[in-house]
């Protein structure tokens, strides 16, 4: 059963400009591993986290660091959930989170489906 769906887009040039203006934002919004990536990948991770929050009902109090986008050996993205985000997913009965990220024409976009068995 689908518990929630979320989608988000992030303009890569706006992300790059924001990082230049407020370098501390990267440390607040991304995990240390995500922060090492290039701006295009960072924008995709941010869009993924926004889409996940929407799929979880966008409650207040979710920590940005509590959702990390990781990739498997084939490059497929998924989330590693901890803390506040894992607690919200458990509260909703989420057993699997599907994630797709794409980059094209200066835009990073992400689509998330939260599923319960």
CB neighbourhood size of 33 (10 A): 12
What's the CA gap between 1 and 45, in Å, rounded?
A: 25
Q: Choose between 83 and 59: higher pLDDT.
A: 83
* Entry pTM: 0.94
Please check the confidence at residue 59 and state whether its pLDDT lies above 90.
no
Quick one: tokens of 91? 């509260």
User: CA–CA distance from 88 to each of 61, 91, 96 (Å)?
Assistant: 10, 5, 13
Please check the confidence at residue 88 and state whether its pLDDT lies above 90.
yes
CATH number at residue 55: 3.90.470.20
Structurally, the chain folds into a number of domains equal to 1
Please check the confidence at residue 23 and state whether its pLDDT lies above 90.
no
Any idea what DSSP says for residue 73?
Answer: T
Give the number of C-alpha atoms closer than 13 A to the C-alpha of residue 105, restricted to the C-beta side: 1
- What's the domain range around 56? 2-115
pLDDT tier at 58 (50, 70, 90 boundaries)? confident
Model pLDDT, residue 117: 86
């Amino acid at each position: 059963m689908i518990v929630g769906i979320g989608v988000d887009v992030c303009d890569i040039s706006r992300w790059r400009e924001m990082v230049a203006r407020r370098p501390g934002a990267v440390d607040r919004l991304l995990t240390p591993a995500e922060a090492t990536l290039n701006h295009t990948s960072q924008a995709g991770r941010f869009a993924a986290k926004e889409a996940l929050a929407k799929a979880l009902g966008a409650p207040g109090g979710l920590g940005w660091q509590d959702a990390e986008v990781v990739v498997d050996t084939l490059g497929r993205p998924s989330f590693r959930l901890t803390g506040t985000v894992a607690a919200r997913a458990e509260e909703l009965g989420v057993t699997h989170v599907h994630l797709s990220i794409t980059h094209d024409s200066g835009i990073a976009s992400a689509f998330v489906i939260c599923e319960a068995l």
